[in-house]
Amino acid sequence: MREFSEQELVRRAKLDNIKQPYPDRFEINCEIKDAVLKEDGTTGIRVAGRIVLMRKMGKMSFITIGDILGKIQVSIKIDMIGEEAYQDFKANYDLGDFIGVEGEMFTTHTGEKTIRASFIKFLGKALRPLPEKFHGIEDIETIYRKRYLDLITNDESKSKFLFRSRFIKELRDYLDKRGYIEIETPILNNKASGATARPFTTHHNALDIDLFLRIAPETYLKRAIVGGYTKVFEIGRCFRNEGMDLTHLQDFTMIEGYGAYLNYRDNMTFLREMLQNIIMNIFNALEISVGGKIVDLSGDWEEISFRDLIFKYSNIDINVYNTKELLLAKIKDDGIDIESETPLENLGYGNLVDQLYKKVARPYIVNPVFLTEHPISLSPLARANDDNPDITDRFQLVINGAEIINAYSELVDPREQEKRLLEQARLRAGGDLESMPMDYDYIEAMEYGMPPISGWGMGIDRIVQLLTNSDNIKDVVLFPLMKNKEDSTNN
């Protein structure tokens, strides 16, 4: 049998005293955030919200009600709402309860916009007391498990999630104005394709087949290009069964966009202008503070090759150490300790180069950098460079040590794509679990003809983490996945 604290027992008793504790609706005519802008003397304002502050006194009380977008003070006087309603309020309303209010706007002598209530209505009881407002929730695990309490008590968290929504809206608006059409692609896939990553697996009972949660929407968005779309994008959840750290989650939100008749350099310009436009709209500035450092997002952004960046921060020239065996031996000779879920000996050359770059170079990047000239084995869906077939027409945007965007000119030759995926399948069979499987269904779509295409992907969580100066990516994910806790009636 469940046990309740003394405060919970008191609140449950109060609920029994309320005549209609859970009404089905309350008609509002103004949002709280808009009510504070009304002129004094405006009457008939009807708002609703949660009681977050309360001062009960003899014949007049003050409460503050709020929601995710704002707060407003309400004065409740016995001669305005009537003695019965006032005594009911004093006896039975608690912090955390929901209330509807009708009244007139005025400003107190301290300058605070306030509604003088002529009518109040109980809308919902908080059977558990809220966390103490001054300190809020300080336990990190509780914050992630019970985000609703964090939002109630922590204005900084509210601001981050409102920023996230604003950023996504600005992103959609920017793309919409430039002719991009938003579509949806499958989350359950027959093939773990679209990126080099370890997949999650699941089982479809009705069809009795094993499926993969999508790693990326890439191959389906390119199928849409085959079908006649010219500019297309999707914002959606993706899943990669890999490591967790301060900047990585296994389930995350990303956007991918594809444009026909474009190459990766077109997208370098397009994406720089897109981010600068959005950030300027939100911050009215292009310099942001991240971890005590100033990141300058203005002007043109530096471009550097994979080879030059690694050579800058180590004495390894990947043009010299150009096979898996040579590079692995050099890494070991130089005593570079690389942590990898897949043993380094099982990685293909491209993934080994990528792990080296992440270890020795990426952490030192602060201002935006376009990283180019990726090894072809690291980019099985990217177009080979015309002058050097060992590298691809690809770039990654790196800001403050975080990979923000991955983009390339797409490989649209089905014959070459088939050869690349066969090589990926060979690497996968050899133990490189991040390699892609063969996908003949995608090859068939390509064989119906593809125009030149350039595509890009950006992690929404990652860019919001950067722009809100958040230490942990979970700080900008509303309900991050957590381990199960043992069920307890007192949690």
One DSSP character per residue, 346-415 reads GS-HHHHHHHHHHHHTGGG--S-EEEE--BGGG-TTBPBPSS-TTBBSEEEEEETTEEEEEEEEBP--HH
Each residue's pLDDT tens digit, 43-89? 999 999 999 999 999 999 999 999 999 999 999 999 999 999 999 99
Angstrom distances, CA of residue 274 to CA of 34, 43, 171 = 30, 44, 8
Q: Tens digits of per-residue pLDDT, 203-253?
A: 999 999 999 999 999 999 999 999 999 999 999 999 999 888 898 999 999
> Which one is predicted more confidently, 184 or 381?
184
Structural contact between residues 188 and 209, judged by C-beta atoms closer than 8 angstroms: no
Residue for token digits 């919902």? 124
CA atoms of 469 and 160, how far apart (whole Å): 10
Question: Which has more confidence, 1 or 126?
Answer: 126
Catalogue all structural domains in the chain, each as residue range(s) with its CATH number.
Answer: 6-130 (2.40.50.140), 155-476 (3.30.930.10)
Number of CB atoms found within 10 A of residue 417's CB? 20
> How high is the mean pLDDT of the chain?
93
Query: Of the given ranges (121-130, 239-248, 460-469), which has the lowest mean pLDDT?
Result: 239-248
Q: Is the full-model pTM beyond 0.85?
A: yes
pLDDT band at 486 (very low <50, low <70, confident <90, very high): low
pLDDT exceeds cutoff 50 at 489: no
Q: Which helix (H) or strand (E) holds 437?
A: none
The CA distance from 61 to 93, in Å, is 12
Bridge partners for 53 per DSSP: 64
Q: How many CB atoms lie within 10 A of CB 235?
A: 18
Band (pLDDT 50/70/90 cuts) for residue 488 is very low
d(CA 33, CA 36): 6
